[in-house]
Amino acid sequence: MPALTVRKQRFWSLLGRELSDEELSNLLHDLGLDVEEITDEYFRVEYNPNRPDFSSPVGIARAARGLLGISVGAPRYRPRPARTYIEVDPRLRDVRPYVAAAIVRGLKLGTEELGELIAMQEDLHWILGRDRAKVAIGLHDHSAVKPPFKYVAARGDEYKFIPLGGYSPMTLDEILERHEKGIRYAHILRGKPFYPLILDSLNRVLSFPPIINSRLTELSEKTTDIFIDVTGTDFKAVIHTINILTTTMADMGGVVERVKVKYPDRIISTPIYKTRRWRVRRSSVNETLGLELKS
């Protein structure tokens, strides 16, 4: 199972109160987390992959506030309407057909918060993304780009850019053949007629999903506004992923702004927040919990 190490003082600031080690252990167990270690400085837990919102301390604290009665009811998020868009190339239909995007503004990122976002991104790649084959995430410094955006189909020698962690421009073919991430994930695109790319309005490369981002948009502690792209082969998984990312950043103090996605046959705005309701028989609840609850 995926694991998370959380600094106690960071968790207290998210939770809104401090707890004893015993109270903390009980709380984490009640949330369904497997507690590996609690020290004076931090705690370490494993979480079930069916709770991808637990991929960051922010998500765990959100659930904990509800359990403790600090914040009751379903959280409400009200993203701003879209002011820009990303246009989808119809040739990507048989390559990597789905994309969702959003902008989160007004973030204050220290070393810790930045590390949490990167760690969450990688965990979601595994939990929801099947090691990027199903879903891949790009996080970009919005100040480095010029909207609107394009999700295009490209040939291997058509574009060059400096990949994240690199120092010189490379073609898409060169990245797949020589870059560490390209070698690792090249199999996902093997046999495809085109490669997917995300560009800004100046035709600069932001992302080569699901392989690597451009160094142009690398996040830093100076980043305040983040452009998020999520691409994949499963629409529901793509939407689920961007919902988790944006609500987490909203709880970190950011303001979520939707982005229009212009597919060849429709236009949507993402993220898409929808609550779900279940009707459950009282008898089933009582049988499962071993209680005798009255209506």
Using the predicted structure, report yes or no on whether residue 17 has a pLDDT greater than 90. yes
User: Is CATH 2.102.10.10 the right assignment for the domain spanning 85-270?
Assistant: no
Using the predicted structure, report yes or no on whether residue 169 has a pLDDT greater than 80. yes
Residue found by looking up tokens 């400096």 in the block = 162
- Could you tell me the residue ranges of all domains in the chain? 3-67, 85-270
pTM of the model: 0.94
| Residue 276: partners with Cβ closer than 8 Å, 6 or more residues away | none
Given pLDDT bands bounded at 50, 70 and 90, which one contains residue 118? very high
* Residue-wise pLDDT tens digits, 119-133: 999 999 999 999 999
Q: How far apart are CA 243 and CA 34, in angstroms?
A: 25
Given pLDDT bands bounded at 50, 70 and 90, which one contains residue 295? confident
Nearest to 89 by CA among 210, 195, 214: 195
Q: What is the mean pLDDT of the chain?
A: 97
Fold of 3-67: Phenylalanyl-tRNA Synthetase; Chain B, domain 1 (3.30.56)
pLDDT at residue 260, as a whole number: 99
pLDDT at residue 292, as a whole number: 85
Residue pair 60/67 in contact by the 8 Å Cβ criterion = no
